[in-house]
Structure 1
């Protein structure tokens, strides 16, 4: 892949992320506030794993299937919306204490990973986004698979860095919130989850991650 094309792609991805927090980013903020940045890395890993599968689907032509049979995938989105609302309501009603939330358990790690994975996979139209984005930067005179690999890894690195940044901001916000009460932390995080659900519900075939 020519360097000038790669730099244009990198700039395009950077501009794409230069927006207010999206569904996955709100989830990262919420988990960082409650569990800290180190624990929320599991959520980031879940999100990026889902993105990797979506990129693979786009590379194998799944984007065309989704684009021509959208109604078959709508239920995936609404299941994701219901999942986020369920988590949000649980948090708002929770009386969980800080020492319990920050406990370092493998079960909690899996739950955080699952939240990131399900939230990202609940947007099947991300496959359409990748299917539309990548061909614009592919040089047909060069082997395609190495180019797809470079484009995919670059996207994941940028996405991961942005999610880490939002997580760090969430940790900074947690310091202020915990001065009032941990119950307030739960309510704020629950509201963020429900906000993420609302954003996911609003997604359609417009390019979304």
Structure 2
């Protein structure tokens, strides 16, 4: 990948990472509920999900989705249903405790799984990368090498953005201890709305 092409992809990645979506919202809620350090497990799962989407788009899933609308429809319903389930669960969650020992009890594997599932079932990510990645590929160069550069670049920008969101949410803990119930309900409602709206797009 030429330097100019990589710089253009870097700028595109930053823009995509900064755009609001379910993974950013999950980092926000987990940062508030479990602290920024525990949310690293969520972010790691999200990044793995995005890397799997990028790999799938580069190595064939994009063509599969283009050949059959049923696969895309199924992915939209699956991703939507998962986000609705997460939203309902968050909506009914109690306000956070100021006791870090209590609030940091989120199981690492559970946080990782939630991040992974949210990332890999995001149809907007599939559509975006399917449409975007061919613009940056050089047919004269190794596809595997280009995959490494693309996946590493996007993972770096997404990691920086989600970490920033999680740290910011952690600093809101005193306010969330007072108004956390409303925060949970608002974020839960947004997740449900995103999940319900995915199949329609």
TM over 0.5: yes
Could you tell me how far apart the structure 1 residues matched to 2:175 and 2:128 are? Answer: 37
Aligned position for 1:192: 187
Partners of 1:44 and 1:160 within 8 A in 2: yes
Aligned position for 1:90: 89
Aligned length: 199
Could you tell me how far apart the structure 2 residues matched to 1:186 and 1:85 are? Answer: 18
Could you tell me how far apart the structure 2 residues matched to 1:155 and 1:205 are? Answer: 27
Q: 1:141 aligns to what SS in structure 2?
A: coil
Aligned position for 1:167: 166
Unmatched 5+ residue regions in structure 1?
none
Instruction: Give the 5 Å matches for 1:116-127.
Output: 116-127=115-126
Partners of 1:33 and 1:189 within 8 A in 2: no
Could you tell me how far apart the structure 2 residues matched to 1:7 and 1:73 are? Answer: 30
Q: CA deviation at 1:78?
A: 2.9
Could you tell me how far apart the structure 1 residues matched to 2:117 and 2:52 are? Answer: 12
Q: TM-score, normalised by structure 2?
A: 0.85
Q: CA deviation at 1:103?
A: 4.2
Aligned position for 1:140: 139
Could you tell me how far apart the structure 2 residues matched to 1:35 and 1:82 are? Answer: 24
Instruction: Give the 5 Å matches for 1:2-41.
Output: 2-19=2-19, 21-41=20-40
Could you tell me how far apart the structure 2 residues matched to 1:93 and 1:35 are? Answer: 16
Partners of 2:55 and 2:147 within 8 A in 1: no
Cα distance change, pair 142–187 in 1 and its aligned pair in 2 (3 A): same
* RMSD over equivalenced CA pairs, Å: 2.5
How big is each residue's C-alpha offset from its partner over 1:79-130, in whole Å with a ceiling of 9 and x where there is no partner?
Answer: 433333333333333447625752446xx11111111111122224523322
Asked if residue 154 in structure 1 is aligned to residue 182 in structure 2, the reply is: no
Cα distance change, pair 113–187 in 1 and its aligned pair in 2 (3 A): farther
Q: 2:112 aligns to what SS in structure 1?
A: helix
Q: CA deviation at 1:185?
A: 1.4
Partners of 2:39 and 2:111 within 8 A in 1: yes
Aligned position for 1:54: 53
Partners of 2:29 and 2:169 within 8 A in 1: yes
Could you tell me how far apart the structure 2 residues matched to 1:177 and 1:37 are? Answer: 15
Partners of 1:125 and 1:204 within 8 A in 2: no
Could you tell me how far apart the structure 1 residues matched to 2:15 and 2:95 are? Answer: 39
Could you tell me how far apart the structure 2 residues matched to 1:71 and 1:101 are? Answer: 44
Could you tell me how far apart the structure 1 residues matched to 2:27 and 2:96 are? Answer: 20
Cα distance change, pair 27–193 in 1 and its aligned pair in 2 (3 A): farther
Q: CA deviation at 1:62?
A: 0.8
